[in-house]
Structure 1
Amino acid sequence: MGLMDTPRANQLHIGIMGKRNSGKSTLLNALTNQEVALVSNIAGTTTDPVYKSMEIHPIGPCVFIDTAGFDDIGQLGSMRVEKTKQAMEKMDIALMLFNNVNMDEEIRWIQELRKKKISVIPIINKSDVLDDLDELSSLVKSECKHSPIVVSAKEKRGIKELKEEILRQLPENYEVQSITGRLAKEGDVILLVMPQDIQAPKGRLILPQVQTIRDLLDKKCLVLNATVDNLDQALSSLASPPNLIITDSQVFPIVYEKKPESSKLTSFSVLFANYKGDLDYFIKCASAIDRLTENSKVLIAEACTHSPLTEDIGREKIPKMLRKKVGENLKVDIVSGTDFHEDLSSYDLIIHCGGCMFNRKYVTSRVDKAKNQQVPMSNYGVVLAYLSGILDKIDL
């Protein structure tokens, strides 16, 4: 599967980190063999993180993240460093650049990366101009417990060795998992019940549906698409019941009542809860809904940033269903995109979208944050199935 086949959120994310003027942008250009990032001798040329999707042999499709120097100064510098912290949440692997023996800041950032279970590759850059290369290599190896990769990004030396080290450091779960997992296999007939609300752009399918269809076609499944209003016709057109029905979470109860007994049932959102997040934790935490009161506080987190629309599942439907169960005074906060509170302790439940716009590392970093603060966290599809009373009846 190549770059054009793999959505950015599913690609390996490689962060390039270091102090200002350590050669991060030059390294990015050397790795991609393109002039992707602006290069200058002036410290602080890179401000906000630069994201670049590339197909890199022999790594495959990946996203490089060129970050601002974490020793940036002043008010703007602090804001840039904060952007680097946010970008760190998305990284699968971090390339940490060293080019002098004063490495306290690099070690501090490495400690934070390792706390987040992000693989770190130490790199000594600018080897073509360093006088104390042997001393620096020895110090980095001692501090990092890992021999550094020595490169000259400017002269493109050591790039082959760096790519080989990236391959060795690939996360265990890097290989792209199947969205439908064991629920679908070659030759199965799969019925997709598509959303009909106004969140689905006219003339287009939204990303979870596109990715699921691609996953099923790659498995050589037979795929039939329907909407809830022609579900009966779709079912009657089949010689035998579909092996699996994947539905829009919002119509779980309707589809459950109509589905043949032999057909398995799940939703796009539940599939993505497993593909991107921690399905077991989401299911375990769904019962927290029963402990909510009118004095409780719920956080709804959606990956997409869009203007609120009528019938919005996260902003309208789920809050309405929760308030119907708990009481109208239930407080519901909503965040979107990369906004996510550091302190979650005031919330009694977090409900996250499917996360199709995020990579798995970023979604699981949010789950870990919730777990560490002992805050229950679930997912749109799981919550809707729980509120509909059929969570124990769907296939996971």
Structure 2
Amino acid sequence: MGRFVVAAVAALSLLYVAVAGADEPSNAYYRTPSRLPGKRHGDVIRHKALGGEPAVAGAGRTQLVIYRTTDAAGRAVPASGVVSIPKGRTPKGGWPVITWAHGTSGIADQCAPSLDSATAAAHGYNAYIYPLFTRWLKAGYAIVRTDYQGLGTAGDHQYLIGASEGHSVLDMVRAARAALPGALSTNMVISGHSQGGHAALFAAAEAPKYTPELHLRGTVAYAPASHLDEQIPLTTSLTQPNAGLTALVATIGAGLEAAGRSAGVTPVLTPAGSGLVADARTQCLGTLAGTATTQNLTPASLFQQGASFTTLRRLLDAQDPTNLRIASRVRIEQGSADTTVIPLFTDDLAKTLTGRGTPLTYNKVAGIDHAGITSGAGATDGTKYIEKWMPGR
């Protein structure tokens, strides 16, 4: 594990930022009854036209959709998301679909990309991807974008919990097709960045059984998160202030707790660590980093000295995409200069999935950083891959 030490420090630094929120949605439109309408995952609860920042340039129509999905335990839960339809006449059979999984915008409800605005604290972490969406819309693809379960809608966001993410990504397609009859094809590509790259891979693994009526043409994962079971225990050696990393570790802990995995989290935390994990449920990473600074917390200070990480590592490993079996084609885009998702980890991920039989193309782009992989060469290569297997307009 020693070869990962240097990379782990960088990989966990400055992953993502967001804004404050709570379990109960602050926006009335996102609130749902405890007994959800509908009968199956992907059923629509409600939908309406949406304007503002989420209505990206190039879209002819934009809809906000509230829908049913299932969490990691298989329970019916609400989720929200955005449907963007290209301009022009709908082709026979509907527009081919790209279902997008977003990078981390936080655990709080206000972090949901469907609630984005020019003045939102998380705007930069949502808006960086809009140019790629515009490119895809102009090429003739409908884009559906889940907020994930627990972001915007009721409940805690099960952050980096693969099944929950994957279900949200797939059910968003079902819901969008039901909300806009005839507008969307059954042909889809799954794509996502960072946390969303992680989500995209889990969705690809789940798709054949979870949404068999949808035709998965391929998956493009940009800088997918992986190997947290290797990285988190190493943060116990980081005794110098690093507010962003400290907040991120607490957010990962909160994500595990939201999915009922607190048995692996609580025993290793100090009282200060437990407090910061609790704060992560209502504070996004930027605010949470400020809390860590105020309390003079470091990554190491979150954990009890000499604590056993056996259970925590097992829980994190269970959410690692290296364990997936994906039979459909996958392309991974990774920047060689990425200091957020370290290429060393993605190299290993690609090698492992290929060895397990996934028809995988791995494209490492020289000199590109974490956000940059979704623009420039990474965007071009990924788009060409999509066009090859699922032609657009």
Question: TM-score w.r.t. structure 2 length?
Answer: 0.26
Question: TM-score w.r.t. structure 1 length?
Answer: 0.25
Answer 1 or 2: higher relative contact order, Cα 8 Å, separation at least 6: 2
Higher radius of gyration, 1 or 2: 1
